[in-house]
């Protein structure tokens, strides 16, 4: 019987295989939209579905994976069919049988396909149930000029890049400084609250530089690699719970940011203390260096 660390290692190795397949897939893909939309109401690109189907097949083929759910799917799927999502969203203690479930965004930022900007894939590995407290490892792949992977466990961060012969070599894991220089503000400004707008303006007044592509993975990766800053996707008039989804995007990226020395909050609370009532539930989110997150918390507290 394999221990949990060996199972996580097997899954991480599978993410590397997935990254090789998807980076090749992206080279040959068109920007063709399908007539279908996913559970969040986003129109799907053909490549969203291709990436999703491939990842499902690869992950469910692993003996150590009990089930998966994806931004592009309505349900949690196991090797034997659909699982009860109400049951698996309930908090359950760590330990016991230690079943592993994976939630993923197969292609993050796919609306940037046509403009040929960097895209990503995001994965959260949950033990026993899909609750933030049960997230025990996370990873993202960035498909840019190079394909790179970040893996985080509860004790360590790993950073690797793909070579031209499709192997992976290790790089020094990035670390967030206490304070950075980048401001990546998401959402439609017209619909921001006064509090949010004033806060974002105050960062620019303080000398922060705007860096925003519209892809969560590349935007967060840039902040991480450049040593710090703030990424925000707030509650807005048109999206009161933000846009980014808890299980597939916000929880795993928050886990990685905390492991890199940063913080992630929803405006008040630590993201990884939040509950999740439904698979596709979104949340406002703010990820960054400690100083920016503290300043944001203060600004939001003072101006409710
Ligand atoms: P996805 O392509 O998986 O639907 O995610 C896109 C997300 C995220 O990458 C990005 O930060 C955000 O959507 C941008 O949203 P807006 O275009 O609404 O600003
Ligand atoms: Mn996404
Ligand atoms: Mn996606």
Distances (CA, A) of 59 to 51, 54, 55, 106, 257: 12, 9, 6, 12, 24
Q: Span 216-224, mean pLDDT?
A: 98
pLDDT(82) > 90: yes
Quickly name the fold that domain 4-171 has: Fructose-1,6-Bisphosphatase; Chain A, domain 1 (3.30.540)
Return the pLDDT at 1: 81
Distance 122 CA to ligand 2 centre (A): 8
Average pLDDT over residues 276-295: 98
What's the chain's average pLDDT?
96
pLDDT at residue 303 greater than cutoff 90: no
Question: Phi and psi at residue 221, in whole multiples of 5°?
Answer: -65, -40
Output b/e per residue, 52-61; b: 16+ Cβ within 10 A: bebbbebbbe
Which pLDDT score, from 0 to 100, does residue 29 have?
83
Q: What average pLDDT score do residues 186-206 get?
A: 98
Q: What is the pLDDT of residue 28?
A: 87
Pairing status of strand 147-153 against strand 135-143: antiparallel
Residue among 42, 188, 196, 215 whose CB has most ligand 1 atoms within 8 A, to mutate: 215
Q: Is the CB of 179 under 6 A from ligand 1?
A: no
* CA 55 / ligand 1 centre spacing (Å): 20
CB–CB of 253/127 below 8 Å? no
User: Looking at ligand 1, which atom is closest to the CA of residue 105?
Assistant: 3
List the domain boundaries for the chain.
Answer: 4-171, 182-302
| pLDDT tens digit sequence for 1-25 | 899 999 999 999 999 999 999 999 9
| Least confident span in 37-46, 129-138, 222-231 | 37-46
Give the model's confidence band at 32: pLDDT under 50 very low, under 70 low, under 90 confident, else very high: confident
Q: Is the confidence at residue 304, as pLDDT, over 80?
A: no
Is residue 109 in contact with ligand 1, taking CB distance under 6 Å? yes
Question: Residues for the chain: how many in total?
Answer: 304
With the most atoms of ligand 1 within 8 angstroms of its CB, the residue from 109, 114, 115, 240 to mutate is 109
* 2/260: higher pLDDT: 260
Which residue has 């703030």 as its token pair?
230
Nearest bound ligand to CA 285?
A: 1
**pLDDT at residue number 220:** 98
For 182-302, CATH number out of 3.40.190.80, 3.30.360.10, 3.40.50.300, 2.60.120.10 equals 3.40.190.80
């Amino acid at each position: 019987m394999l221990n949990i660390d060996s199972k996580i290692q097997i899954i991480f190795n599978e993410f590397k295989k997935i990254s090789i397949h998807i980076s090749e897939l992206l080279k040959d893909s068109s920007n063709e939209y399908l007539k279908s939309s996913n559970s969040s109401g986003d129109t799907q690109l053909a490549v969203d579905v291709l990436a999703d189907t491939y990842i499902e097949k690869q992950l469910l083929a692993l003996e150590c994976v009990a089930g998966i759910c994806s931004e592009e799917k309505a349900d949690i799927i196991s090797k034997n069919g659909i699982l009860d999502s109400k049951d698996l969203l309930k908090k359950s203690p760590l330990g016991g049988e230690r079943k592993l479930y994976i939630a993923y965004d197969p292609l993050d930022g796919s609306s940037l396909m046509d403009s040929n900007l960097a895209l990503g894939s995001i994965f959260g590995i949950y033990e026993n149930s899909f609750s933030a407290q049960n997230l025990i490892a996370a990873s993202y792949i960035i498909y840019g000029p190079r394909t790179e992977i970040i893996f985080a466990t509860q004790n360590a961060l790993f950073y690797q890049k793909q070579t031209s012969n499709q192997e992976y070599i290790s790089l020094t894991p990035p670390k967030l400084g206490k304070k950075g220089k980048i401001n990546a503000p998401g959402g439609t400004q017209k619909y921001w609250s006064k509090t949010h707008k004033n806060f974002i303006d105050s960062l620019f007044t303080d000398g922060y530089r705007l860096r925003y592509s519209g892809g969560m993975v590349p935007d967060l990766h840039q902040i991480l690699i450049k040593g710090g800053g703030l990424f925000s996707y707030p509650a807005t008039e048109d999206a009161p719970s933000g846009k980014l989804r808890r299980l597939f995007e916000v929880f795993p990226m928050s886990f990685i940011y905390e492991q890199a020395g940063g913080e992630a909050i929803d405006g008040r609370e630590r993201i990884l203390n939040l509950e999740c009532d439904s698979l596709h539930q979104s949340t406002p989110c703010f990820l960054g260096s400690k100083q920016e997150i503290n300043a944001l918390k203060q600004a939001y507290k003072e101006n409710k």
